[in-house]
């Protein structure tokens, strides 16, 4: 059971059907002979390791990538899209990872952009607004028509994108990791929206690394590995374990490595005293050699702001930061790096990666001193130093010479990680280090963190995944409203302990969103 046979779907002709679709980039077979069906009124999920081909497949379906071979049918009729616009003409829309909205225009204007109700060249505002209101009511959205999109949160911008698709009568919406950038209640709301769409007969193609999300939302799940379809089955017939087995071709084993021994007498590597910065109110903390300290808290508690201020990416207005007893200057990230403080930032796009350069260049960037002789970087020693590290982070489907912009999202994350491993930092700050990374690679990154710690690196780990914080840390600090409000250790280190500290007392309760 669990196999969906071509004739087996109860609705007759599928909405979309792919027949041996392939797409190659240079020597890489991004997708390789994939056949599958997407019925109406259902969520079809794609899972697979980083680089497995999920985004590429989504882009083929939504018309932004043209396949090399194979055919695609919409309601039984063969189509060949040369652009997302043509796909939209057949009822297929994509909710892009980087949302394509016009910030200064209002919600309603974005929704109908390019499809405005017009008479001659006049956009009829009244009609626009009433049409918007009808659409929003039908679909269960409540965003105000006139609000400019620019200042809105990602969750709301996603809703505008979905309404935009609906305004064009989309029948299939491709969503590539839509929940990766959301937190808590926004994720719930997105799930509600997806369920409503499906109840109204729409189809959703969902790409996600959150297997629990996939299992709870999807009707059918396709597992991809190395560009090939491993299987398509009913979600009811899969579990996290079977999906992982399908994605990796092997079981995962334990989720976390053994924590390294901790020496409470070890010298302090990172010492933070009374730091005040934007959204950070007077934080002091210490991390010892070989220690992994978790930093937990709700979104907006100030964790990212704190670590940015520590690294020098943002200015501290007072307080001191010392690495192994040496004080760091306030807004000099490069000096921080040279003093042995490395950081994996939350936002990979803005910080860190040189997108037009090779993997090799990106990885060796922070440690050029080790591979250069007389000011020249020796390509050969660069390669020799980088290769084993790339192997350790399990970069798949890419070579040291691949340009970083062509890597899958998760592989870009691994490159950033590899760079920080190269320089053997005294202190590593990792802000959401496994976001967008597949389950197998997650474990590889945990191993690397633990290995760094066992060689003496002091690690400060920011993560919204409580399991991750608890599974890796020796000790957990909980932040709320820019302050460290609790320190949990030993028995006290539990999910409920962290949550209790993260939420304020009833009188000053913060909204989780």
Ligand X SMILES: Nc1ncnc2c1ncn2[C@@H]1O[C@H](COP(=O)(O)OP(=O)(O)OP(=O)(O)O)[C@@H](O)[C@H]1O
Report CA-CA distances (Å) from 268 to 283, 314, 506: 16, 23, 36
Could you tell which of Mg ion, ligand X, none binds residue 407, using a CB distance below 5 to 8 A set by kind? ligand X
Segment interacting with Mg ion (CB under 5 A) among 115-123, 185-193, 329-337, 404-412: 404-412
Among 51, 297, 352, 400, binds ligand X (CB under 6 A): 51
Go through 328-356 and write b for each residue having 16 or more CB atoms within 10 A of its CB, e for each that does not.
bebeebeebbebbbbbbbbebeebbbeee
Minimum separation from the CB atom of position 60 to Mg ion (A): 13
Nearer to Mg ion, 428 or 445 (CB): 445
Q: Taking CB under 6 A as the rule, does residue 408 contact ligand X? A: yes
Identify what 160 binds: Mg ion, ligand X, none; CB under 5 to 8 Å per kind: none
Q: Does 249 bind ligand X (CB under 6 A)?
A: no
> What's the CA gap between 52 and 482, in Å, rounded?
39
Q: Smallest distance, Å, CB 408 to ligand X?
A: 3
Task: State yes or no: residue 406 binds ligand X (CB under 6 A).
Answer: yes
Residue 53 engages ligand X in binding (rule: CB under 6 A): yes
Q: Is 463 in the site for Mg ion (CB under 5 A)?
A: no
Alpha helices in 176-302 (DSSP H): 184-199, 211-217, 240-248
Binding residue for ligand X (CB under 6 A) from 61, 128, 398, 479? 398
Alpha-carbon span 159 to 190, nearest angstrom:
8
Interaction partner, residue 63 (ligand X, Mg ion, none; CB < 5-8 Å by kind): none
Site string for ligand X, 21-50 (x = CB under 6 A): ----xx-x-x-----------------x-x
Answer for the pair 458, 296: CB distance below 8 angstroms, yes or no: no
Nearer to Mg ion, 92 or 107 (CB): 92
Q: Which of 197, 407, 418, 478 binds ligand X (CB under 6 A)?
A: 407
Which of ligand X, Mg ion, none sits in contact with 400, Cβ below 5 to 8 A by type? none
The whole-angstrom separation of Cα 316 and Cα 335 is 15
By CB under 5 A, the count of residues binding Mg ion is: 3
Range in contact with ligand X (rule: CB under 6 A) among 1-9, 87-95, 385-393, 408-416: 408-416
Rounded CA separation 241/1 (Å): 17
- Nearer residue to ligand X within complex by CB, 298 or 398: 398
**The tokens of 277 are what?**
């910065």
| Using rule CB under 6 A, residue 54 touches ligand X | yes
Comparison of 413 and 457: residue with beta carbon closer to ligand X = 413
C-alpha–C-alpha distance, residues 435 and 125, integer Å: 41
* Binding flags for ligand X, 426-455, as an x/- string (CB under 6 A): ------------x-----------------
When computed from its CA atoms, the radius of gyration of the chain, rounded to whole angstroms, is: 24
User: Segment contacting ligand X (CB under 6 A): 81-89, 98-106, 356-364, 405-413?
Assistant: 405-413
User: Up-side HSE of residue 204: CA atoms within 13 Å toward CB?
Assistant: 27
Q: Is residue 225 a contact residue for ligand X (CB under 6 A)? A: no
The arrangement of strands across the sheet holding 280-288 comes to 280-288, 268-277, 318-323, 326-327
Q: How far is CA 319 from CA 117, 216, 268, 322, 336, in A?
A: 57, 46, 17, 10, 16
Name the helix (H) or strand (E) containing 270: strand 268-277
Q: Using the 8-state DSSP alphabet, how is residue 257 labeled? A: P
Binding partner at 345 among Mg ion, ligand X, none, C-beta below 5 to 8 Å by kind: none
- Interface with ligand X (CB under 6 A), residue total 21
Neighbours of 108 (CB within 10 A): 27
Shortest gap between Cβ of 78 and Mg ion (angstroms)? 27
**CB contact at 8 A, 429 and 351:** no
Residue 234: which H helix or E strand, with range?
strand 228-234
Task: Kindly state whether residue 67 participates in binding ligand X, applying the rule CB under 6 A.
Answer: no
- DSSP secondary-structure letter at 317? S
* Least distance from ligand X to the Cβ atom of residue 383, Å: 19
- Cβ closer to ligand X: 143 or 344? 344
- Cα angle 54-51-48, degrees, rounded to a multiple of 5: 55
179 binds Mg ion (CB under 5 A): no
Of the candidate residues 28, 38, 53, 55, the single one contacting Mg ion (CB under 5 A): 55
Bridge partner residues of 477 (DSSP):
295, 487
What are phi and psi for residue 296, nearest 5 degrees? -110, 170
Give the span between the Cα atoms of 44 and 307, in whole angstroms: 38
Give me the least distance between CB of 441 and ligand X, in Å please.
Answer: 9
Which member of 91, 297, 345, 409 binds ligand X (CB under 6 A)?
409
Question: What string marks each residue from 407 to 446 as x (binds Mg ion by CB under 5 A) or -?
Answer: -xx-------------------------------------
Residue 369, judged by CB atoms within 10 A of its CB (0-12, 13-18, 19+), counts as exposed
Of 411 and 473, which has the nearer Cβ to ligand X?
411
The nearest distance, CB 21 to ligand X, in angstroms, is 12
Residues of the shown chain interacting with ligand X in the complex, contacts defined by CB under 6 A: 25-26, 28, 30, 48, 50-56, 397-398, 406-411, 438
């Amino acid at each position: 059971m669990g196999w969906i046979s071509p004739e087996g779907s109860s609705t007759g002709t599928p909405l979309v059907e792919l027949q041996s679709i392939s797409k190659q980039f240079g020597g890489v077979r991004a997708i390789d002979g994939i056949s599958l069906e997407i019925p109406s009124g259902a969520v079809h999920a794609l899972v697979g390791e980083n680089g497995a081909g999920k985004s590429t497949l989504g882009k083929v379906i939504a018309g932004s990538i043209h396949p090399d071979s194979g055919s695609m049918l919409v309601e039984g009729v063969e189509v060949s899209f040369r652009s997302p616009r043509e796909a939209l003409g057949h009822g297929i829309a994509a909710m892009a990872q980087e949302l394509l909205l016009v910030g200064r225009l209002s919600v309603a204007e974005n929704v109908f952009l390019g499809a405005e109700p017009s008479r001659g060249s006049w956009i009829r505002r009244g009609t626009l607004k009433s049409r918007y209101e009808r659409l929003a009511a039908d679909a269960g959205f409540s965003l105000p028509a006139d609000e400019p999109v620019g200042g809105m949160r990602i969750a709301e911008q996603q809703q505008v994108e979905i309404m935009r698709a609906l305004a064009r009568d989309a029948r299939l919406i491709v969503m590539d990791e839509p929940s990766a950038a959301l937190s808590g209640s926004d994720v719930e709301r997105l799930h509600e929206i997806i369920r409503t769409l499906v109840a109204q007969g729409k189809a959703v193609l969902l790409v996600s690394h959150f297997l629990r999300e996939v299992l709870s939302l999807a009707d059918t799940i396709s597992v991809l590995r190395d560009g090939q379809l491993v299987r398509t089955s009913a979600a009811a017939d899969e579990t996290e374990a079977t999906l992982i087995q399908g994605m990796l071709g092997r079981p995962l084993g334990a989720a976390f490595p053994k924590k390294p021994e901790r020496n409470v007498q070890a010298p302090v590597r990172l010492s933070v005293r009374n730091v005040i910065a934007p959204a950070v109110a007077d934080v002091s903390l210490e991390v010892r050699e070989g220690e992994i300290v978790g930093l937990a808290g709700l979104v907006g508690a100030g964790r990212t702001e704190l670590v940015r201020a520590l690294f020098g990416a943002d200015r501290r207005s007072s307080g001191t930061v010392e690495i192994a007893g040496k004080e760091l200057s306030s807004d000099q990230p490069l000096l921080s790096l040279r003093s042995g403080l490395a950081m994996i930032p939350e936002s990979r796009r803005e910080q860190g990666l040189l997108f037009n350069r090779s993997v090799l260049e990106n990885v060796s960037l922070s440690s050029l001193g080790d591979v250069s002789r007389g000011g020249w970087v020796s390509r050969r020693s660069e390669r020799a130093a980088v290769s084993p590290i790339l192997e350790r982070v399990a970069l798949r489907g890419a070579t040291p010479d691949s340009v970083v912009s062509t890597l899958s999202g998760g592989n870009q994350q691994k490159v950033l990680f590899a760079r920080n491993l190269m320089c053997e930092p005294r202190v590593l700050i990792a802000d959401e280090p496994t976001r967008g990374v597949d389950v197998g690679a997650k474990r590889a990154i945990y191993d690397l963190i633990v290995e760094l710690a066992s060689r003496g690196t002091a690690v400060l780990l920011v993560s919204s995944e409580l399991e991750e914080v608890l599974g890796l840390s020796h000790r957990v600090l909980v932040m709320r409203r820019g302050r460290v409000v609790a320190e949990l250790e030993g028995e006290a280190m539990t999910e409920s302990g962290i949550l209790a500290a993260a939420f304020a007392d009833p009188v000053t309760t913060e909204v989780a969103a």
